Structure 1
Amino acid sequence: MNTFSRLLFSGLTLGAVLVLGGPVAAQPGSEPRILKLNHTDTPSGARHLAAELFAKRVEEFTRGKYRVLVFHSGQLGNDPQSIKAVAEGKLDFTASATGSFAGLVPELNLTALPYLVDSYEQGWRFYDESPWMRRQFDKLPAKGLHHLATWEAGFRSFTTRSPMIQPADAVGKKMRIFPNDMIKWIMESIGYEPVVIPVTEVYAAIQQGRVDGQENPIDTIRALRFNEVAPNIVLTQHVYSPLPFVASEALWLRLSAAEQESFQRAGKEAAALSRRLVRDADEKNLEAMRAAGAKIVRPDIAAFRKAMSSVYERAAKVYGGEVKAILVDARAP
């Protein structure tokens, strides 16, 4: 083929591409790079819907160069295992409660202080705009993680086998928790004996009577059907518990600046979806669980605030001035 023919062929090919809808992501003959995202929510939960949107947007924004496979229900590991795998570069993405990252950045324990924030809007402002929060997330790259966005899960409340109306009802009973000092101290402040169990094993643990119940946001309670084995849903809303969405730092450093922007943009779109889904579905989820036989209890929050206030004193002995610093940011107007 002579020079003129090659130029003519190239021009015709470009024209065909433009007519058919724009450039194709990958080079001819190349396959998209497969990335993996694992989480512990079920396919009906907001976390999974956010993950699916993230995967869709990544493929769109990178024009097919990357494809994200989403694994739900802890198929590739529970929350601590997923975080460890992402940090080691063996998994590409995960989303988990902020306190789950405290093993890498201990100060993140403080985000689980009881009644730190009182509304979704206050929580979103804190996670998106707080200098204190940014300082903690900026510590993650050295641990092998890169924070992309903060997805939503909601405010943590109890589901119990035994009736629970006031803090005294917790005394002498066992409560499942995830491995987090602040959550442990909260349970102890009202009399529970905290027991660490991976979330993927909690349903069976309650069913077998190993614990009296668990505490999680409403969306998670319904998605994992905890109301079936612990039918008292006690709306203490004691901890705001969103989900930092992280990528492997090893992956992040391999991306071009344009690719990084695409992944960040996809993560934030997924965050907006999860926030809307969780906030708007709280009452609908409660009504569905009530219709399925659960008892919805709206206790005297003041009694729980008072009982859990000792956690702040305990935290100050360990974290010093960080407690005051997070309070200033979390409660800023």
Structure 2
Amino acid sequence: MKKLISTLAIAAGMMAAAGMAAHAAEVLKFSHTDNPGGSRQAAAEVFAEKVAEYTEGRYEVRIFPAGQLANDPKAIEQLQLGGIDFTVSATGSYATHLPSLNLTAMPFLVDTYEQGWELYDNSKWLQGEFDKLPEKGFRVLSTWEAGFRSFTTKNPLASPEDAVGQKMRVYPNDMIRWSMEAIGFQTVVMPITDVYLSIQQGTVNGQENPVDTIKSLRFYEVAPNITLTRHVYSPLPLTVSEATWQKFSDADKEAVRKAAAEASVFSRHLVKNSVEQQLEEMKAEGAVVAVPEILPFRNAVFPVYEKARGVYGEEQVNQILQDAADIREALPAM
């Protein structure tokens, strides 16, 4: 009798385990290139938590930071192939697959975070471009924050004259490259995961990124001159593989959208409210922070707008410039 009870107990346990396995959460892979202590990781953790909550545990978002699975361009390719489910990267990183998105990296489009949020949430032109992405294999769920791009260089950068003869790392984005060359730099394209060592070894003299990225990836250690030009607003669209998206039920799609929106609010306020503290922390570690006269930099990059018209067409360039102008007028910088 005891043997029978034991056998039944074992069988019941096996059935229970099988039942739990059948209801285990489906794992979704989230790749990004920020370090574990950075704002992208913090927002990704919020997103993962909310996805689990709003799908009632049907999905587990597993996060792979610091380029563990891929650098930014490769992660986007993996989205298209269904190898990963989510990534978050600068808008210009997606321009390889939809070149018009390069236009979001035109210099000095907006002056404040609030203007940038309005541009990404409500620009008719930009929303229309985002609507084209599902046919490329991925779609935008929400926009997270990185901030305004500025420079870290080995030598001081008080004006465009100081850029002449210096090598600046850029990511594969025409608009960024044109702007850097207009300022006077020689440009070198490389993945962000290679930048620290390349500056350290002298392959390049500096790089440009938002303060949050400069702090997270510690670029100030090898290029200690931080020059706050704020030349490009550079947020981070969160994207999902279209193959993954089409597997979701309507309810789960709504749950993922809701999680993405809440993570966006978290990301935007975290980055905006962290900049001054991050600058102070980097100064305490030896960085030199400077705010240059901006007009010479604005004047230097002015030809970029006309170059963009020649490549992308008058209509597209004028549409985004008009959207940005309307937003700057409606939400003036204080």
Normalising by structure 1, we get a TM-score of 0.91
Partner of 2:126: 133
| The one of 92, 96, 107 aligned to 2:89 | 96
Deviation per CA, 1:136-180: give whole Å up to 9, x if none. 100100000011000000000000001110001001110001000
Structure 1: distance between partners of 2:301 and 2:322: 19
Q: How far 1:28 sits from its partner (Å)?
A: 8.1
Structure 2: distance between partners of 1:99 and 1:270: 21
- 1:1-333 to structure 2, matched below 5 A, reads 29-320=22-313, 321-332=315-326, 333=330
Return the letter of the residue paired with 2:129: Q
Q: How far 1:190 sits from its partner (Å)?
A: 1.0
**Unpaired segments of 5 or more residues in structure 2?**
1-18
Q: How far 1:113 sits from its partner (Å)?
A: 0.3
Structure 2: distance between partners of 1:139 and 1:146: 8
Return the letter of the residue paired with 2:263: A
Partner of 2:7: none
Return the letter of the residue paired with 1:137: F
Deviation per CA, 1:37-59: give whole Å up to 9, x if none. 00000111111100011001000
Structure 1: distance between partners of 2:34 and 2:75: 13
Structure 1: distance between partners of 2:280 and 2:80: 39
Identity of aligned residues (%): 55
Q: How far 1:331 sits from its partner (Å)?
A: 2.1
Partner of 2:207, secondary structure, is: strand
Deviation per CA, 1:120-140: give whole Å up to 9, x if none. 000000100111111110010
Structure 1: distance between partners of 2:156 and 2:103: 29
Structure 1: distance between partners of 2:175 and 2:195: 19
Structure 2: distance between partners of 1:169 and 1:105: 34
Partner of 1:6: none
Q: Which runs of 4+ in 1 moved over 4 A?
A: 26-29
Partner of 2:96, secondary structure, is: coil
**Structure-2 change in CA distance of 1:28 and 1:215 (3 Å):** closer
RMSD value over aligned CA atoms?
1.1
Deviation per CA, 1:191-236: give whole Å up to 9, x if none. 1011011101100000000000000000000000000000000001
Q: How far 1:27 sits from its partner (Å)?
A: 7.6
Return the letter of the residue paired with 1:324: N
Structure 2: distance between partners of 1:163 and 1:28: 58
Partner of 1:156, secondary structure, is: strand
Q: How far 1:65 sits from its partner (Å)?
A: 0.4
Structure 1: distance between partners of 2:171 and 2:178: 12
Normalized per residue, the structure richer in helix is 2
Normalising by structure 2, we get a TM-score of 0.91
Partner of 1:102, secondary structure, is: helix
Deviation per CA, 1:246-273: give whole Å up to 9, x if none. 0000111111111000000101111111
**Unpaired segments of 5 or more residues in structure 1?**
1-25
Structure 2: distance between partners of 1:201 and 1:194: 15
Q: How far 1:30 sits from its partner (Å)?
A: 1.6
Return the letter of the residue paired with 1:138: D
Structure 2: distance between partners of 1:48 and 1:328: 34
Deviation per CA, 1:271-306: give whole Å up to 9, x if none. 111100110011110010001100001000111001
Return the letter of the residue paired with 1:301: I
Partner of 1:56, secondary structure, is: helix
Structure 2: distance between partners of 1:199 and 1:306: 28
Return the letter of the residue paired with 2:47: F
Q: How far 1:82 sits from its partner (Å)?
A: 0.3
Partner of 2:13: none
Return the letter of the residue paired with 1:57: K
Structure 1: distance between partners of 2:312 and 2:195: 30
Structure 1: distance between partners of 2:21 and 2:31: 30
